Amino acid sequence: IWIFHLFYADDNLLANLARMSTSERIKAIQKMPETMKKKREIRTKVLNKVTKSRHGSTQLSCCPQYPQGTAMSFRRFGNTSSEYFHHLRLWHRTLKIIGAEFGTSVLSYFNFLKWLITLNIFSFIINFSFITIPQFFAVEPNNLSFTGLEVLTGTGYFQQTVLYYGFYTNATVSTAESGPFYNMQLAYIFTVGIYFVICFLILLFSMAKSFCRNFINPETCSGNASKLLCTWDFNITSEKAVKLKQKNLSTQIKEDLADVNREVLNFSVKERVVRIVIHLVAWVAFLATALAACAGVYSLSMNNLKLLVKGHKNDLESQAAMLMLPVFTSLLNTFITFFYSWLGHLERFRTPGQQIYVTITRNVLLKISIVGILCYYWLTMVAVAESQCWETLVGQDIYRLVLVDFIFCLLGSFFGEFLRRIIGTTVCVSRGLPEFDIGRNVLDLIYAQTLTWIGILFSPLLPGIQMLSFAIVFYVKKVSLMMNCQPPRKVWRTAQMTTSFMLLLFFPFFVGVLCVIGVTVWRLKPSEACGPFRGLPSMYAAVFEWIKMLKNYTASKWIVWIYENLITSELFFFILSTLVLIITYLYWQIIKGRKTMTNLLRQQIFH
């Protein structure tokens, strides 16, 4: 009898839902206190019942229903596709576990690393599609032998491959004598130029999106009450998912409460004087180490230049000598950043956020100085050196820097976290497990991405190498975090840190890279014996030659007009900059208005 009543109730429910309109049926199913799996089963049964009833009617009555059935099929397909894509998101569950266990501060690092991996995937696809694949049709045989040392040094066999600028041809590529041709000069410069424009727009969009989500969020007007009463997902039935959701909500509420009940430290006059002296000593130590590091990098750059002028040798001593500059630079970036982190702990800041931002500022100044000296060395010394292909030499230098920096990043996880855990659990138990150093790790990522951006012009496939290295770093850092680190002792909310990382990546690093690329393209003379721009006074001269050729064709006059009246016009960029400033000002006023309304709504709710 119970089974009969169950099936009868089920049939009665399906019949009632089948008689409803499409919108009413969707709302009724959504309001059911059932799991998502059960709701999908009910929806499928109702749709089958509706379809059978329509097939049983006359053919004339079926015709008007055809668009509605098609729309329902598309909606069903869209819901299924979105569900699968949601599960296929990269490292979705891993990021949820990290956020639940270690809070948003550590999670912001892994979100930033995931974003950089996606950016490098896009870079690799662009360069490989428009630069590397066409070169395969004009490839020349590589007569050099592979010894294995090329993986570390980037020289030898790799020098005659598509990895470097010097291997690419300056001729037009075509599959047949009378078929269409592909201009490698224009493809090379336009691919790199358009890529940087897209990166510029992606960074601006990502910063704006992160700013609106973390600084201007109208949905947070109810504060912690919404987290307690409105954020639980009742469709969760798995025990693991329930525990993970509980940890995530608990961590978020702790962070919000720590932000509200922020501890105010009151120091005496003597303690304040001591703190000021400690801060001054720390900044003097920072300046001294930064100047010494820059002097060491410049000295080794001069020594590296002598090796480049003499020419490459395949013996082990010469190969090891070329690794001195990247190894020394990586040593500085690793050990000095550890020293800056120790200075931050010594200064005893009021909040963990202040300590992280001061550490990041010092690391930014150090890495900008080192990258600036390296760029000065490449553009003013290597570019005018007596070498057959100075662009390939710069690409090899950047390849070695990227590879050695990746190795030291892995070693930093071992020495900075694994050994600290061993010491904290066996030798010095009072220190305990180490905390994840966000400032040092984030600046390592930004430094590596900056090298990749600089090297794209000289080594088009460098984003692919950086993509693989970042993916390995993600897994290594995740394992090291789970095994060696503890959650932050002071729980604090850091929703704005992702925005700060984007801002740092954009300025000064991305803006500095644009300056370096601009000087290379417009000012420096390409090598005479290699590369797609051989024989030209500058890389940008290829665009001038193309515009001159288009003037002879009537159908291409509009391209010439755009180039002469817009791209080379100072007035156009002045008007464009003015419009951007006006739009930014209006957008900021809208944000201020939304923030004011949010604060008023919050006050009304609390009252």
Burial 163-201 (b: 16+ CB within 10 A, else e): bbbbbbbbeebeeeeeeeebbbbebbbbbbeebbeebee
What region does 493 belong to: left with phi over 0, alpha with psi -120 to 50, or beta?
beta
Q: Are 154 and 517 in contact (CB under 8 A)?
A: no
Residue 486 backbone dihedrals phi, psi, to 5 degrees = -115, 160
Q: Helix (H) and strand (E) counts for the chain?
A: 23, 2
pLDDT number for residue 99: 80
Tokens 């070693």 identify what position? 411
CA 485 to the chain's CA centroid: 24
pLDDT number for residue 97: 85
Q: Are 106 and 492 in contact (CB under 8 A)?
A: no
Regions of the chain with pLDDT less than 50: 1-8, 58-66, 83-88, 218-222
Q: What angle do CA 108, 344, 339 make, to 5 degrees?
A: 100
The encoded tokens of residue 236 equal 């969760």
pLDDT digits (tens, 9 = 90+) for 372-423: 999 999 999 998 876 778 999 999 999 999 999 999 998 888 777 888 888 8
* Residue 492 per-residue DSSP state: -
Residue 21 backbone dihedrals phi, psi, to 5 degrees = -75, 170
Handedness of CA 517, 521, 523, 529 (dihedral sign): positive
Tokens 């090379």 identify what position? 188
- Report the distance separating Cα 281 and Cα 380, nearest Å: 36
- Report the distance separating Cα 533 and Cα 479, nearest Å: 46
The encoded tokens of residue 101 equal 């266990």
- Report the distance separating Cα 532 and Cα 185, nearest Å: 5
pLDDT number for residue 594: 59
Torsion, Cα 188 191 197 203, to 10 degrees, reads -110
* Residue 526 per-residue DSSP state: P
pLDDT digits (tens, 9 = 90+) for 205-256: 888 777 777 665 544 444 555 556 565 655 555 676 667 667 667 766 665 6
pLDDT digits (tens, 9 = 90+) for 508-531: 899 999 999 999 999 999 998 889
In Å, what is the CA distance from 22 to each residue of 17, 25, 34, 61, 485?
A: 9, 5, 20, 17, 52
pLDDT number for residue 259: 57
pLDDT number for residue 284: 94
Residue 173 backbone dihedrals phi, psi, to 5 degrees = -100, 130
What is the pTM (predicted TM-score) of this model?
Answer: 0.78
pLDDT number for residue 448: 95
Q: Are 474 and 110 in contact (CB under 8 A)?
A: yes
- Report the distance separating Cα 62 and Cα 341, nearest Å: 73
pLDDT number for residue 27: 76
